[in-house]
């Protein structure tokens, strides 16, 4: 039997049970802050459209080539942009599926302006960190410890969160020679309703990726709205990114889905 609480001192070794509980608290806090509906494989995405066979092949192949390091660029961020209904989310989803099957998908976040759990920047990093904790068992205890030691991390700047919850743990895996999936997909950044958050996300990702030099690739899909396009046209983001533009696709939808013409007509968009 243990003597009464506080009456003994443990020297040496690890009091694992205590650490375990602290870390589990960290994981619970993280999962409460994450937004499961933003995952590419969230239940409500089950009927999400995938690219019809032989559509957007060139774009999908170009993105996969870039991810696999087969294109002649060192850029670690790709901006998939195009007008409303041009197929950005369909491609993001298709790419996520392909990468998931190849064990190359680290985390995803699908913004949606109509869903209050995924239309604000504050959900992004906790959701990505949660996915990484689940996808990379080696990273999980590190992420949990950061949060249990400082739960306010989830209210700190995106840069702090990105560094401490995502990049530091991945760097430690890297240093230990542990492989991990390397692609993050962020869809619909224009649907993040806090505009300053859109800029902070892009600045944070580009600055931090340049600083850490991890083998990560980040696919960002959005409409070409001013804040986003000006972020991609300046600073580190400009030099560390490539872009892929889409035109409004009507060809396959015209035949396969007659409603497409109405859906794609701007006033019916939402
Ligand atoms: N390659 C494709 N194969 C099949 N359907 C497609 C394809 N691309 C687009 N579509 C159809 O067009 C619709 C609009 O596509 P999607 O939602 O991907 O556009 P988007 O560019 O993400 O639009 P938004 O800017 O509004 O988010 C989808 O509901 C889907 O039915
Ligand atoms: Mg979309």
Ligand 2 center–CA 1 separation, angstroms: 60
Q: Whose CA is nearest to atom 15 of ligand 1?
A: 87
Distance CA 192, CA 113 (A): 6
Please determine, for residue 175, whether its predicted confidence score (pLDDT) is greater than 70: yes
Q: pLDDT value at position 57?
A: 82
What pLDDT digit, counting tens, does each position of 30-75 carry?
Answer: 999 999 999 988 766 656 666 676 667 889 999 999 999 999 899 9
Please determine, for residue 7, whether its predicted confidence score (pLDDT) is greater than 70: no
Q: Whose CA is nearest to atom 24 of ligand 1?
A: 84
Instruction: Give the mean pLDDT of 174-190.
Output: 96
What pLDDT digit, counting tens, does each position of 85-106 carry?
Answer: 899 999 999 999 999 999 999 9
Q: Output the pTM of the full model.
A: 0.85
Helical residues (DSSP H) of 46-167, grouped into ranges: 57-67, 88-101, 124-135, 140-149, 158-161
Sheet of 77-81: strand order equals 105-110, 183-187, 217-222, 77-81, 241-245
Question: Of the ranges 18-22, 31-35, 83-87, 187-191, which one carries the lowest mean pLDDT score?
Answer: 18-22
Cα radius of gyration rounded to whole Å, the chain? 21
Distance CA 221, CA 218 (A): 10
Q: What residues flank ligand 1, with Cβ below 6 Å?
A: 49, 51-52, 55-56, 82, 84-90, 188, 223, 249, 252-253, 257, 260
Q: pLDDT value at position 10?
A: 46
Q: pLDDT value at position 213?
A: 84
Q: pLDDT value at position 265?
A: 33
Instruction: List, in order of start, the domains of the chain with CATH numbers.
Output: 18-268 (3.40.50.300)
Please determine, for residue 114, whether its predicted confidence score (pLDDT) is greater than 80: yes
Q: Which residues contact residue 26 at a Cβ distance below 8 angstroms, ignoring those fewer than 6 apart? A: 143, 144, 145, 146, 147, 148, 149, 151
Please determine, for residue 110, whether its predicted confidence score (pLDDT) is greater than 70: yes
Q: Whose CA is nearest to atom 2 of ligand 1?
A: 51
Q: Whose CA is nearest to atom 14 of ligand 1?
A: 85
User: Which mutation among 56, 60, 85, 219 tests ligand 1's pocket best, with the greatest number of atoms within 8 A of CB?
Assistant: 85
Ligand 1 center–CA 125 separation, angstroms: 26
Ligand 2 center–CA 168 separation, angstroms: 31
Q: pLDDT value at position 247?
A: 79
Q: pLDDT value at position 15?
A: 40
User: Which mutation among 47, 48, 89, 187 tests ligand 1's pocket best, with the greatest number of atoms within 8 A of CB?
Assistant: 89
Q: Is 10 left (phi over 0), alpha (psi -120 to 50) or beta?
A: beta
């Amino acid at each position: 039997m243990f003597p009464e609480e506080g009456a003994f001192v443990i020297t040496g070794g690890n009091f694992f049970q205590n650490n375990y509980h602290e870390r589990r608290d960290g994981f619970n806090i993280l999962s409460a802050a994450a937004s499961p509906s933003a995952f590419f494989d969230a239940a409500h995405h089950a009927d999400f459209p995938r690219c019809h066979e032989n559509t957007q092949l060139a774009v999908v192949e170009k993105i996969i080539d870039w991810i696999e390091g087969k294109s002649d660029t060192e850029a670690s961020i790709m901006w998939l942009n195009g007008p409303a209904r041009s197929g950005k989310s369909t491609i993001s989803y298709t790419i996520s599926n392909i990468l998931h099957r190849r064990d190359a998908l680290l985390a995803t976040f699908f913004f949606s302006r109509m869903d209050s759990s995924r239309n604000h920047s504050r959900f992004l990093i906790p959701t990505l960190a949660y996915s990484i904790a689940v996808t990379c068992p080696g990273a999980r205890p590190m992420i949990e410890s950061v949060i249990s030691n400082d739960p306010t991390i989830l209210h700190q700047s995106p840069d702090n969160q990105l560094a401490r919850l995502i990049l530091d743990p991945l760097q430690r895996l890297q240093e230990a020679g542990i492989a991990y999936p390397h692609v993050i997909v962020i869809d619909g950044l224009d649907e993040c309703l806090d505009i300053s958050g859109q800029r902070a996300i892009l600045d944070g990702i580009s600055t931090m990726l340049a600083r850490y030099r991890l083998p990560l690739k980040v696919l960002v899909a959005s409409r070409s709205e001013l804040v986003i396009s000006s972020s991609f046209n300046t600073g580190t983001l400009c030099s560390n990114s490539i872009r892929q533009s889409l035109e409004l696709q009507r060809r396959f939808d015209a035949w396969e889905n007659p409603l497409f013409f109405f859906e794609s007509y701007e006033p019916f968009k939402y």
